[in-house]
Amino acid sequence: MEYPSLEPGQLARVQGFIENYRNKNQLKVDHMELIDPVQVAIDYADFLPTSTIPPEKLMENIEDLITEHIKYAPWKSFCRKVLNNEDIRRHLLVAPGAKTVHHAYIGGLLEHSLQVARICMSICDVYPNLDRQTLLVGAIFHDLGKAWELSGGLINDYTDEGRLLGHIQIGQEKLEPFLKRSKTLDEGLKLHLKHLIASHHGEFEFGSPTVPKTPEAFVLHYADNMDAKLNIIDQTYAEMDKTGQEWSPYVRFLERNVFRPQPTPDKTRQQHDKPENQCLLPLKG
Amino acid sequence: MEYPSLEPGQLARVQGFIENYRNKNQLKVDHMELIDPVQVAIDYADFLPTSTIPPEKLMENIEDLITEHIKYAPWKSFCRKVLNNEDIRRHLLVAPGAKTVHHAYIGGLLEHSLQVARICMSICDVYPNLDRQTLLVGAIFHDLGKAWELSGGLINDYTDEGRLLGHIQIGQEKLEPFLKRSKTLDEGLKLHLKHLIASHHGEFEFGSPTVPKTPEAFVLHYADNMDAKLNIIDQTYAEMDKTGQEWSPYVRFLERNVFRPQPTPDKTRQQHDKPENQCLLPLKG
Amino acid sequence: MEYPSLEPGQLARVQGFIENYRNKNQLKVDHMELIDPVQVAIDYADFLPTSTIPPEKLMENIEDLITEHIKYAPWKSFCRKVLNNEDIRRHLLVAPGAKTVHHAYIGGLLEHSLQVARICMSICDVYPNLDRQTLLVGAIFHDLGKAWELSGGLINDYTDEGRLLGHIQIGQEKLEPFLKRSKTLDEGLKLHLKHLIASHHGEFEFGSPTVPKTPEAFVLHYADNMDAKLNIIDQTYAEMDKTGQEWSPYVRFLERNVFRPQPTPDKTRQQHDKPENQCLLPLKG
Amino acid sequence: MEYPSLEPGQLARVQGFIENYRNKNQLKVDHMELIDPVQVAIDYADFLPTSTIPPEKLMENIEDLITEHIKYAPWKSFCRKVLNNEDIRRHLLVAPGAKTVHHAYIGGLLEHSLQVARICMSICDVYPNLDRQTLLVGAIFHDLGKAWELSGGLINDYTDEGRLLGHIQIGQEKLEPFLKRSKTLDEGLKLHLKHLIASHHGEFEFGSPTVPKTPEAFVLHYADNMDAKLNIIDQTYAEMDKTGQEWSPYVRFLERNVFRPQPTPDKTRQQHDKPENQCLLPLKG
Amino acid sequence: MEYPSLEPGQLARVQGFIENYRNKNQLKVDHMELIDPVQVAIDYADFLPTSTIPPEKLMENIEDLITEHIKYAPWKSFCRKVLNNEDIRRHLLVAPGAKTVHHAYIGGLLEHSLQVARICMSICDVYPNLDRQTLLVGAIFHDLGKAWELSGGLINDYTDEGRLLGHIQIGQEKLEPFLKRSKTLDEGLKLHLKHLIASHHGEFEFGSPTVPKTPEAFVLHYADNMDAKLNIIDQTYAEMDKTGQEWSPYVRFLERNVFRPQPTPDKTRQQHDKPENQCLLPLKG
Amino acid sequence: MEYPSLEPGQLARVQGFIENYRNKNQLKVDHMELIDPVQVAIDYADFLPTSTIPPEKLMENIEDLITEHIKYAPWKSFCRKVLNNEDIRRHLLVAPGAKTVHHAYIGGLLEHSLQVARICMSICDVYPNLDRQTLLVGAIFHDLGKAWELSGGLINDYTDEGRLLGHIQIGQEKLEPFLKRSKTLDEGLKLHLKHLIASHHGEFEFGSPTVPKTPEAFVLHYADNMDAKLNIIDQTYAEMDKTGQEWSPYVRFLERNVFRPQPTPDKTRQQHDKPENQCLLPLKG
């Protein structure tokens, strides 16, 4: 009997049994049937790596940050309208944070946005003159376009739009109608938000159409960069934990080997010493 | 009597007379009165350098190119709607091509767009497989955002929007409503046009949000670059003509000195040898 | 009568009176006498810009951070021994943070170290797996060598040592004896601290002898960079406040113009709207 | 029976038959005999990829361009003497345009030179003040040295001369005797031609011994670059046509993936839609 | 029977015999026993590539250079104390010059230091105003830290210290106690030596904490670079000798192919034409 | 009476007297007459900075090096023919080494060529396998083209040829006829010499048409670089001697400040401690 050949991304229902052959498990297929994901309800999270904290919970955490920090009604209303837009919300709940480098899992984009937002808020505690509210809006939406730049799903690849325009422009396009409709939001604030998104890559050589020109834009750029790097290290550590190494293999994206230093002895920390979860997010009580 | 101090960009009506003092002319002011450009109709072209060919004529030339090359009705209709939009047309007719570097005069943006379009069309004669029509639309509108990036007028400086977003994004924003409204234009063509604009700076290090990924995008990038460089040289030559030098002083933007080479003897050319006009545009009969 | 010529950095006691000449004040000198700073007790803070918060208070704030965050006795003892060393403390209390670029005033080094430490601690709240204690030690001492790299005083210039070795190596040399003497501190922790200092410039092209290889080193690098940039913007804003401009002149060190964006309307913030002090440090109650 | 081992570039006459084995064709060799290309007349075009248009025809096209555009007798005579030189002509008729990147086939150098010349002539229509004649000479001969830089033939590799000197210098050396002998050609024109060749790589970082300092040199540099890129894309498209993909695999030399955009619907174009030929050259009637 | 699995760097004593199988030698193992290098005296030079001239002889050559060139007693005494320190001498006698790139064999560090010192001394003959003595000390010790940056031995890899601090800082740390103890050596000379070491990588982008600011520092930087490059070429030539090629394969570290040029005919040289030894060191009589 | 206006580079004979006015000398001109350097024999060395050692002596030193090191008759004959060519010798005896940066005085090119040759010969003592003879020829002629790249004379500026082709190509053109005529010199040696000249700038980004691919080419590149840098420092030191500073002002070409370190006490050296001459050349007995 001939089975259909399987392409990457194709789902199939397989029936068979496991045999042990030369100390390795081998799958003997009895029956195989292609699955049309349009007809059968599929929870992709069953097949794909997902953020430790479920996307819905991450979304809730973001909404909590808005409630906590945004007091200016037009900003609050703007954020809610964007996040409650059905198309946007659906995309955000499954979007990865990148293709391969960091946060490359379901919920990755939300997790990244949340952590960047948290960093920004904590920096505002140190520099109270920063415009905390506009910065938070920028942090939450800085990578919004990534939800359309990448296809997500089983084959997480760039979309045509993603490759031909980039996530910065896609994000601006998605936010533009909401900005136009928000009559109470001052033009200066809208311009600042658009600048935060346009400049968050920080340097022209990274394809930033412009560079940070306000303190908030600098903070967003560093926060974005820092979370991406820490997420890569975190995943590298998870690999190193399997073999017990102190030094990682060469990490191409960081262009270096990563080291796990000896930690300061700390009773409070010890119970966290062997983290089971993949990401650095603090567990909520 | 005390005269009000004049700020850059302030217009004033002055009455007085010229005296000759030590072989130099000196203006003695009898009366001076500030002018409010809102109340008095001012033709800025009286005070500012302007393209040799009047902006209206350049616009006409662009429209002729559309008529000649664009046969696909949705593209033709799109171009006309953009160019006939009152706000856009008014901006285009006065916009400079850059702040200082090249085409820094009224009509400069139109002149640059026209020349880039002409280069692109002539390249299509050499490479007939190129999509001549989409390329022409891209050439005409690639720098559209510059009409809002620069203030133009007596003090031609960057606007807030220009500095915080850059002309690529401004241009995309201006075109977006026209693209949305054009129901007959295929999504793939719209995406290609947006890519042409997004990638025309060619390299990430020049703030290009993306890089050319289609042959048309490569051609547009080179055409844009070539016309900018040739316009700079042209203006440099105009300066050199005054002193009869073969070598220019150091041209900062080109990072070199420019040379006027000995021309091939050519009877046809000789009558053009002492160009009186500032730009290289061929004179229309 | 002939007065001695004054060199930069030379103090003198001058007696005379002020005359008004063509609407400008003019100093008429009756008597001038050079001052030998060795013989006369001089408080340089009378002649030099100083941090808004006095250096002693900044030092106290740093010591408070140690008390709050460092629980591991060997680290705590190490920090105290370094900060209580007479030579080090004396240098730290007057050292600027840089020659001209940022924190170029008495107390600038302490202010910068304090802010970097605060950023790091706030980042640890977001990423609880970081080694908060080693990171704090690194943050406080990352720029220690600057207290000997720059002469401080009336002519704040680089010292021979500063130019020939750089502050990273000077700092390591200053800490080395304290590390050697600390028998209880584990070698792995000492190495991590030395790595934090050695890598804090982040990229080889900025003269970093090595690059960050631990998450703590990444965080320190970003925190250092962020505080330097925000301090430059803060000083640029102070200049802009004098003229009421929205855009700064070109800031050479940032390679751009800086913008003061419209702030989100905020009752709580308004009372801080016209900051009288030069730096962004939150005022302590 | 033992067959001699075959080295890359070794020709052999083989006799045998084809068997089908597991759905693949397999060659069974009965007899094999090495061929000495010196003794047996070989038409390498039987074994090597060749330009769609035969090299002789390309040469004819170049000569037509000379006839059409060059009116100044000393230039015309110079071009003819170079192209009719037996050694040069023989090299030009087989030379590839590059080792692997673009035009890597017999006739590739002529095809590239012709297209660059065509671009330059079409740019002169847009900028009539350019020195059309010197530019054409420069375009035709800018890569002349490549005919000796690469060995061509079955193993198209760099020659010693090619690697140790580069094609710019080799080209200059080949042209020098012709320039010396041309007594009627003005020294200024000779210098301009040598500058066009010396600067055509455009930027020092690409090994250009000098950079363009005349408008003609800028145009030649862009034309050279543009044709190289378009030829690479053209070959990439040819590969993509086999699999029907919209996106190419990563193209190392362009450092990106290439996209085939949706074309503007065009009745005139449709008949060319599935190009059978490898290059973008317009077919002559 | 089961043998223990062998990890890289693990020594074992193996008993067995060689069989010929399909024209290849095959080792049949009868008995295998792990060796603990702590218990059994191992001469690693039996297993590892070693400099042609034995390390002890290289050390002697370095000491001869000191005797010949250093007349100032404090420098002479300093050099001897460092070289006679038991820990330092033991490390130096086995240290490689790099991990893989150049001098990657036992004695490599000494060989490199000796050649750099010889270059520097020969440059002093050409520029007699250079401070020959300080330069020699710098040349001998510029890479001292490498003896601890690399583990040497069977697995020559970076140590933790090496990766986290780099050899420049390690070297400075090793020399610091000797400098402190040398009461007769002037502070200015100590500072110059430290500058020579700190700046020898020459450019910030190569991780040099500072750049050369004295002529001696420039000379040391060039000498270091030159010897590294010549050693790489020397090893490349040794590989090429095996196959008789004129051109090397691509040498990644040099980013080019290396050529063996035709030598000037020279009777004196001919006897050296087929060097059997791996390095370019002149043989001592 | 009206005097003709003087342009830079114009010589004039002036008669008058010196007056003292407010403690400054003032020249009162009675008579001034322009000098035509074609009619009046001028020794430009009277008006221009010249190498400490006269150019004729430097030439002699170069010829001595040839005699000492070049044993292969075809090389020896080649060198002599080039140096004895009247046009070449005349240019070499007055040529500066650069426009402003280093060796910018009469004899500068010869001085630089001599020092580079000396460095190369001393490096051959350290690496005896190098081809000493070809390297010496390359060292002596590597910058030959500079004698035509710069005008020398009172206004030492680039010539047209210099700016449009660069000294590497000019040098190759000058040597080419001598190479062609030298029938006994092997083609491989000629190619090596041309490679040495073509690659001596070392890196593509410095406009090197090719990069060093033989050990001799590497050595020449480093020697060239080293002598240029040391000459700049030497001139900087001469300036510093006037004011007694330890640190130079910022040296733009070196992108740093230069330091004069404390020298190792040395009885032999002390007599040279206050060098009166401008260059580092060892004085001949």
Could you tell me the pLDDT band of residue E4, with boundaries at 50, 70 and 90? low
Q: What is the per-residue pLDDT for C117?
A: 98
Summary mean pLDDT of chain E: 87
Our answer on whether D and C touch (3+ beta-carbon pairs < 8 Å) is no
For residue range A42-74, list pLDDT tens digits in order.
777 677 788 889 999 999 999 999 999 999 999
Q: Which of residues 141-160 of F touch B (CB under 8 A)?
A: 160
Q: Which of residues 201-260 of E touch D (CB under 8 A)?
A: 246-247, 257, 259
Residue contact E247–D163, C-beta within 8 A: yes
Contacts of F165 in chain D (CB under 8 A): 191, 194-195, 198, 209-210
Residue contact A163–D246, C-beta within 8 A: no
Which has more confidence, E194 or F39? E194
Ranking C211-220, D93-102, E169-178, F237-246 by mean pLDDT, the lowest is D93-102
Q: What is the per-residue pLDDT for D103?
A: 81
User: H-helix or E-strand containing E114?
Assistant: helix E108-126
Which has more confidence, C209 or E180? E180
Residue contact E163–A246, C-beta within 8 A: no
DSSP letter for each residue of C235-281: HHHHHHHHHT-SBPPPBTTTTB--B-PPPPP-HHHHTTSS--SSS-P
Could you tell me the pLDDT band of residue F237, with boundaries at 50, 70 and 90? very high
For residue range A129-169, list pLDDT tens digits in order.
999 999 999 999 999 999 999 887 777 788 999 999 999 99
Could you tell me the pLDDT band of residue E202, with boundaries at 50, 70 and 90? confident
The C-alpha of D237 sits at a distance from chain B's nearest C-alpha, in angstroms, of: 10
Our answer on whether B and D touch (3+ beta-carbon pairs < 8 Å) is yes
Our answer on whether A and D touch (3+ beta-carbon pairs < 8 Å) is yes
Contacts of D246 in chain A (CB under 8 A): 160
Q: What is the per-residue pLDDT for F125?
A: 96
Q: What is the per-residue pLDDT for E108?
A: 92
Residue contact F247–C164, C-beta within 8 A: no
Rounded to an integer, the average pLDDT of F223-248 is 93
Q: What is the per-residue pLDDT for B25?
A: 81
Exposure class string for E189-227: b at 16+ Cβ within 10 A, else e: bbbbbbbbbbbbbbebeebbbbbbbbbbbbbbbbbbbbb
Contact D129, B275 (CB under 8 A): yes
* Cα atoms found within 13 Å of the Cα of residue C192, Cβ hemisphere only: 30
Q: What is the per-residue pLDDT for F15?
A: 86
Rounded CA-CA distance D270/B41 in Å is 53
Contacts of C213 in chain A (CB under 8 A): 256-259
The C-alpha of A160 sits at a distance from chain D's nearest C-alpha, in angstroms, of: 9
Give whole-number Cα distances, F233 to E203, F247, F280, in Å.
17, 11, 10
Percentage of residues in chain F having pLDDT higher than 70: 90
For residue range D52-111, list pLDDT tens digits in order.
899 999 999 999 999 999 999 999 999 999 999 999 999 999 898 877 767 878 899 999
For residue range A199-228, list pLDDT tens digits in order.
999 887 777 889 999 999 999 999 999 999
What is the ipTM for the molecules in this complex?
0.85
Could you tell me the pLDDT band of residue A14, with boundaries at 50, 70 and 90? confident
- Residue E103: which region, alpha, beta or left (left: phi > 0; alpha: psi -120 to 50)? left
DSSP letter for each residue of E38-80: TTS---GGGTS-B-SS-HHHHHHHHHHHHHHH---HHHHHHHH
Ranking B198-212, D56-70, F189-203 by mean pLDDT, the lowest is B198-212
The C-alpha of A70 sits at a distance from chain C's nearest C-alpha, in angstroms, of: 10
> Cβ of E261 under 8 Å from any chain F Cβ?
yes
Ranking A184-188, A252-256, E259-263, F29-33 by mean pLDDT, the lowest is F29-33
> Cβ of F176 under 8 Å from any chain D Cβ?
yes
pLDDT at E126 over 90: yes
> Cβ of F72 under 8 Å from any chain E Cβ?
yes
Q: What is the per-residue pLDDT for E1?
A: 46
Contacts of D176 in chain F (CB under 8 A): 173, 176
Q: Which residues contact C66 (CB under 8 A, 6 or more apart)?
A: C76, C79, C80, C136, C140
Summary mean pLDDT of chain D: 87
Q: What is the per-residue pLDDT for E26?
A: 82
For residue range B49-72, list pLDDT tens digits in order.
888 899 999 999 999 999 999 999
Residue contact C164–F259, C-beta within 8 A: yes
Contacts of B229 in chain D (CB under 8 A): 215, 218
For residue range D157-214, list pLDDT tens digits in order.
889 999 999 999 999 999 999 999 999 999 999 999 999 999 999 887 777 889 999 9
For residue range E219-236, list pLDDT tens digits in order.
999 999 999 999 999 999
Contact D84, D66 (CB under 8 A): no
Instruction: Indicate whether this model's pTM tops 0.90.
Output: no
Candidates C7, C151, C155, C160, partner chain F, best to mutate (most F CBs within 10 A):
C160
Contacts of B206 in chain A (CB under 8 A): 204
Q: What is the per-residue pLDDT for F64?
A: 97
Could you tell me the pLDDT band of residue E187, with boundaries at 50, 70 and 90? very high
Determine the 3-state secondary structure of F21 from DSSP.
Answer: strand
- Measured between CB atoms, which of F195, F206, F207 is closest to D165? F195
Which parts of chain C have pLDDT scores under 70? 1-5, 45, 101, 267-285
Residue in D closest to A164 by C-alpha: D259
Residue in D closest to E260 by C-alpha: D160
Rounded to an integer, the average pLDDT of E163-175 is 95
Residue contact F165–D191, C-beta within 8 A: yes
Contacts of F131 in chain E (CB under 8 A): 261, 263-264
Could you tell me the pLDDT band of residue F30, with boundaries at 50, 70 and 90? confident
Pairing of strands D247-251, D256-259: antiparallel
Q: What is the per-residue pLDDT for E283?
A: 34
Rounded CA-CA distance C192/B38 in Å is 67
CB-defined contacts C:E, below 8 A: 77
Residue contact A257–E160, C-beta within 8 A: no
Residue contact A163–D259, C-beta within 8 A: yes
pLDDT at B273 over 60: no
Which has more confidence, C9 or B235? B235
Rounded to an integer, the average pLDDT of A254-264 is 94
How many residues make up chain D in this entry? 285
Contact C109, C92 (CB under 8 A): yes
Percentage of residues in chain B having pLDDT higher than 70: 90
Rounded CA-CA distance C177/C187 in Å is 14
Could you tell me the pLDDT band of residue D9, with boundaries at 50, 70 and 90? confident
Rounded CA-CA distance F278/F261 in Å is 19
Ranking D8-12, E156-160, F194-198, F248-252 by mean pLDDT, the lowest is D8-12
Q: Which residues contact D112 (CB under 8 A, 6 or more apart)?
A: D97, D102, D103, D143, D227, D228, D231
pLDDT at E45 over 80: no
- Measured between CB atoms, which of A123, A131, A222 is closest to C261? A131
Residue contact B126–D134, C-beta within 8 A: no
For residue range E52-71, list pLDDT tens digits in order.
899 999 999 999 999 999 99
Burial of C109 (0-12, 13-18, 19+ CB in 10 A): buried
Residue contact A123–C122, C-beta within 8 A: yes
Residue contact E257–D160, C-beta within 8 A: no
Amino acid present at F78: F
Rounded to an integer, the average pLDDT of E181-198 is 96
Percentage of residues in chain D having pLDDT higher than 90: 62
Residue in B closest to D118 by C-alpha: B126
